[in-house]
Structure 1
Amino acid sequence: MLNTAAAAFVALSALAPADVAEEPTAAIDVVTVNGSGCPAGDADVKTDGRTFTIGYHTFLARAGGGSSPLDMRKNCQISLRVTVPEGYTYGLARTTYEGYTHLQAGATALNRVNTYLQGSSANATVTHPFTGPFSDDWQTYYRPNSAEIQWSPCGSPRNININAEVRVTLGSADPDRLNFAIVETSRGVVRVKRC
C-alpha cells in the first residue's frame, strides 16, 4: 500500500508545471494599504514568500437606510514591493477578493480591481457586478494567463499597485432600506521568472 501511495505522489508531482515548481522565492513588502475603505493602520497584513493576505475592518459601501452619498463607494489602494534574486523579474499572477453583499430588489453593487506597475500606463481592470435581490458571501478573482501578466522590467524593479473598490447603487430599491457590500479579505500571488 505504501508503494501505491508513493507512486501516486510521484505521478501527481509530475503534473505541476515546471516553471512554477522551479520559481525562486520572493520577498513581498506591503508598502501601502490606504484608502476610504482601508484607512492607514486599519488592515491586517500577512506575507509569506510569494503570497500576501490582507484583512479589512472598514471596507464597506452602502446605500439607502439613511446612508450618506459618500458611503456608496469605498476604495483601497495596495502597493507591493517585491524583492527577487538578480536575473529574475516578477508580476502579479492572481488576486482574490472575498466579502458579503446584501441588496434589495432594484439595487446593484460591484467589486472592481485595477492592477498596474508603478510608473506604467498599462493596467488591467476586472469588474464583478451584483444585482439585487442578493444576500450572500462572494469571491471575485483576477487571474491572467502568463502572457497577460504585467512583468516588472528586468533590472528596474517597480511596485505592484492594486486599487480595489466596492460600490453600491440604490437604483429603484426602497431608499429607507439598507443595501451594502463588504470586502473582508484579499489575497494575492506573485509569479517569478528569469529575465
Structure 2
Amino acid sequence: MARQVVLAAVLLMIAAAVQVSAQTPTEVTIGYVTYAGNGCNSDNTNWVLSNDYKTVTFILGGMVATKDGSLADKRKACQMSLSMNYTDGWSVSIGQATARGFADIPKNSEGIYETHYYFSGQTGTAMAERKIKGPMVGSFEFTDDFLPLVWSKCNNAADLNIKTVVTSGVVALDFQDTKFQLIYNLRWRQCPQN
C-alpha cells in the first residue's frame, strides 16, 4: 500500500512539472535585437516571437557558406542579442532549435551549423550542432536539442545572446524564401515562491 502511495505521489509530481513547463508568462516582449557578424545584419535579418511565447524565429539572409572562396566565404556567423522582458516569477531557456534551409554538399564533404546561447551576466553556454554529410542537394529541416539547458536567473530578464555559425559545404538558403531560418523553442518555468 505504501508503495502505491509513493507511486501516486511521484506521478502527481511529474504531472505538475509537465503542467508548469507548458505554462508561459502572461506577457513577453522583445525590446530590441542587435546583430553582429558576416552572416547577418539589421537589413537582411528578421525575427518574430510567437503569440504563445513558445518560439522565436530568425530569418537570416546572409548565412551562405561555400566550400570555395575566401575564409569569410567558408564560415558565416551571426551573433544576436535579444532584450527580453517578461513577468516576474519566471525563468526561460531554449530547449531546441529547428533549422530550415537549402544544402548543396558534394560527396566526401560535410556542412556544419551550430548554435549557442547564453544569458548576459550569467555563466553557462548551451550548444546544438548538426553535421550534414554529402552528397546532398535540396531543402532540409532538422531539429536539435540544446545541451546542457541553461536557464535565466529567476526574476531577472537578462539579455539572451545567440550565436550561429555555418561552415563550408552548406548553402544555408531555403529554396523558396532564399533565407535560412532558425526557430528556437523557448521553455518557461515558474520560479519557486520565497
Length-normalised TM-score, structure 2: 0.74
CA contact 2:100–2:181 (8 Å) conserved in 1: yes
2:145 partner letter? R
2:188 to 166, 178, 192: 192
RMSD, aligned α-carbons: 2.4
Q: Deviations over 1:27-77 (max 9, x none)?
A: 24152233211123211222234122221222100023xx22320000111
Question: For residue 133 of structure 1, what is the aligned residue in structure 2?
Answer: 135
Cα gap change, 1:182/1:120 in structure 2, threshold over 3 Å: closer, same or farther?
A: same
CA pair 23-45 structure 1, distance change in 2 beyond 3 A: closer
Kept in 1: contact 2:130–2:144 (CA 8 A)? no
1:62 and 2:66 aligned: yes
Asked whether the equivalents of residues 98 and 184 of structure 2 are also in contact (C-alpha less than 8 Å), the reply is yes
1:181: which partner in 2?
171
For the residue of structure 1 that corresponds to 2:73, the secondary structure is helix
Q: TM-score, normalised by structure 1?
A: 0.74
Higher alpha-carbon deviation: 78-87 or 108-117:
78-87
For structure 2, the residue ranges without an aligned partner over 5 or more in a row are 1-14, 174-179
- 1:103/1:135 contact within 8 Å kept: yes
Hey, what's the Cα distance between the residues in 2 that align with 1:149 and 1:125? 9
**Residue 93 of structure 1 corresponds to which residue in structure 2?**
95
Counterpart of 2:83, as a letter, is: R
Whose strand proportion is higher, 1 or 2?
1
Alpha-carbon spacing, 1:91–1:26, altered in 2? closer, same or farther (3 Å): farther
1:48 alignment counterpart: 50
Match for residue 102 of structure 1? Answer: 104
Q: What is the alpha-carbon distance in structure 1 between the residues aligned to residue 108 and residue 145 of structure 2? A: 30
